[in-house]
Chains A and B, each alone.
Chain A
């Protein structure tokens, strides 16, 4: 078979190909940079579009249009960093809403959160929930804003099959801990049975809205990040709001099981343990019931 003249190898062809290969990554880099700038300038999905200053300050005789509905955060289980209140001055991330599908949830009686008092601020309710967490041995907590309220998220802990926390320091470790072996029978049982890691995150949601969890479950990684993205305290304007009779406090329990560090963790749904039992075994229910 005879090659066409154009298909023959040109003496400078390797040089041209090498130059193209060198130029291709640079071109791709420039294209990505341009896309990044464009996305920074364009409003993100769910964000209100930026208003030009002259339009924003122009006097108008017409009645102002109704405010656009507050765009919801992305429904991917990740919190969004945006101001909780327009005049708050303090930024607090917003908990994903509707909340990711929990393993189970339970309504907390209002008197346990308000202490039976008629007029309570959200800050006092938050303090009561925070003290319950502290009494039950939980350390750092994360605050988020929620519609007409807030969310208080616990640190991810490792639990036993029945919902009781693992012993320290395994409780706060992400690694799967070996079972306790006291003898040959324990060893043989452990040799022929699975030893998955069980993890739990508890989120108290204080809101006036009905909670209709998202169809998508949360991943273990998302739930672990909730603590880091949350604030360590409730912003003062939010804390000053009243805990009205319309407010409800709900505990969302997110339980995850990880059979091995080589396998991704999956959310347990439904949990074999009821949410109330989770709270009882975590020591939270008793801490909430304790007189203050």
Chain B
């Protein structure tokens, strides 16, 4: 089973989610200041429900690990990581596309509200993948190139038991 260092996988996911969330936040903020959305509670409610939960989860895990000190060198299945990363990228692309499609419809707020339907389906898939990724038991086998070198066996004490 191919594996990847869990800390590295988490960092990659955190980078993806935090950068995308920051981009969406800035876009939405500028649009709000320019009066694009007549109902700010609706637009920011969309941001809170569609974008914030996953970065909040990832940040929580990272903060928890940092608070516990140096984590154990755990590994995770590479397939699980790729699926989680791919679904996250697809979901965030859909979120960004929804925001950027607004000018083409003429009614950006309506688009945000109606996007709850299809984004909700994608979001549940992403949430499931993130749940599997973070709750998965550390993988035992390691055939990846970036695997940690095996800890050398402790040499037997000379004269032990003698």
Contacts and interface: CB of A to CB of B under 8 A. Distances in A.
- A interface SS class: loop
B110 A181 contact: no
Interface string A180-197: 010000010011111110
Taking each of A178, A195, A260, which has the highest tally of chain B beta carbons within 10 Å of its own beta carbon? A260
B65 interface: no
Given A192-B30, A260-B39, A262-B39, A187 B103 contact: yes
Contacts of A196: 38
A176 B106 CA distance: 6
A260 B31 contact: no
B109 A191 contact: no
Interface string B81-106: 00000000000000000001011111
Nearest to A170: B106
Nearest to A196: B38
Contacts of A193: 34-36
Contacts of A259: 38, 109
B141 interface: no
A179 B38 contact: no
A194 B100 CA distance: 14
Contacts of B103: 178-179, 181, 187, 190-191, 195
A263 B104 contact: no
Interface residues of B, number: 20
A179 B110 CA distance: 15
Taking each of B30, B38, B107, B113, which has the highest tally of chain A beta carbons within 10 Å of its own beta carbon? B107
Contact of A260 (B30, B34, B104, B109): B109
B42 interface: yes
Contacts of B104: 178, 181
- B interface SS class: helix
Interface size class of A (residues with CB under 8 A): 10 to 19
A195 B106 contact: yes
Contacts of A190: 103
A196 B100 CA distance: 17
B29 to A, nearest CB: 11
Given A176-B106, A178-B105, A194-B35, A262 B42 contact: yes
A176 B110 CA distance: 11
Contacts of B42: 262
Given A260-B38, A262-B42, A263-B39, A195 B107 contact: yes
Nearest to A177: B106
Contacts of A194: 34-36, 38
B53 to A, nearest CB: 23
Which 7 pairs show the lowest CB-CB distances between chains A and B? A178-B106, A259-B38, A190-B103, A260-B109, A194-B35, A263-B38, A192-B34
17 contacts: A176-B106, A178-B104, A181-B103, A190-B103, A191-B100, A191-B103, A192-B30, A192-B34, A192-B36, A193-B36, A194-B34, A195-B103, A195-B107, A259-B38, A260-B107, A260-B109, A261-B107
Interface of B: 30-31, 34-39, 42, 100, 102-110, 113
